[in-house]
Amino acid sequence: MKNYRLFNFIAIAVATFLLSSCLKDNDDQRIPGALFTMVNGYTDANAVVYYADGGPLQSPYYPLDFKSYSQVGLFTGARKIAISSEYNNVLVDTTVTIKDSTIYTSFVYGNKTKAVQVITTDKVNKDIKNTESGVRFFNFAEGTDQVTLQIGSQTSPTEWTNRAKETQNSATAHQGFIAQKSGTFTVIAKDKAGKTIATRKDIKLVENYYYSLILIGKINDEKKPLYLGLVAQAAN
């Protein structure tokens, strides 16, 4: 069994166990559920809190910090996913239909003028070789346009070239994972003129695992400079 498939089985099993914990001891029915990853790339707060139908998915005392991510299990059905800043200001909310045994990721980004949430469905669109990892790229950074991502000396896939700041439509269009050679690499992001705008060394891509590489932060900003984040993803 491939590593990522084992991870996905464990992840969904854990999510189902957590969702089932409210059942009585003698009720062993399985509750339909999904795995939900939350990624914070919002630049105008130090942390955020996610809510599903008004219930917090993080403790307000331990919110989701900028440049971090976490996972929870969600019940199925129409769920209102809202995100607030650390000061309890609602930034954005989206209603999404959560399906059983499905894996989702929510990315929040933008600024106080316009916060944005996009939600992807994390599916294995094509099996990868034993020497490869599945990778996708999203541009969530402020003040950037037509960004190209390159991993080591590998040729950038067409899907990773000249990427504008994401919308829900573009995130959905690029939610599939692309096979890349596994190993440890320096990853760079370049602007439309070919100038390097962000670099991250020693990014490790493990064989048979899936990842999102995300560009977040603000261009020419000292507090929240451009940053290449690596999100380990479940996919099925």
Read off the pLDDT of residues 25-74 as tens digits, 9 standing for 90 and up: 455 677 899 999 999 999 999 999 999 999 999 988 999 999 999 999 99
Distance CA 36, CA 27 (A): 25
**CA–CA distances in Å: residue 100 to residues 15, 34, 77, 105:** 11, 5, 9, 15
Distance CA 35, CA 104 (A): 6
Query: Which structure tokens are listed for 41?
Result: 């790339």
In sequence order, the 6+-apart residues with CB closer than 8 A to the CB of 172 are 118, 120
With beta carbons less than 8 A apart as the criterion, state whether 70 and 37 touch: yes
Task: State pLDDT tens for residues 68-120.
Answer: 999 999 999 999 999 999 777 899 999 999 999 999 999 999 999 999 999 99
Q: How many structural domains are present in the chain? A: 1
pLDDT at 166 (0 to 100): 98
- Specify the higher pLDDT residue, 204 or 23: 204
pLDDT at 23 (0 to 100): 45
Residue 139, classed as helix, strand or coil, is strand
Mean pLDDT computed over every residue of the chain: 89
Range of the domain at 201: 3-233
Amino acid identity at 77: G
Distance of CA 76 to the CA centre of its chain: 20
Nearest of 106, 175, 170, 166 to residue 136 by alpha carbon:
175
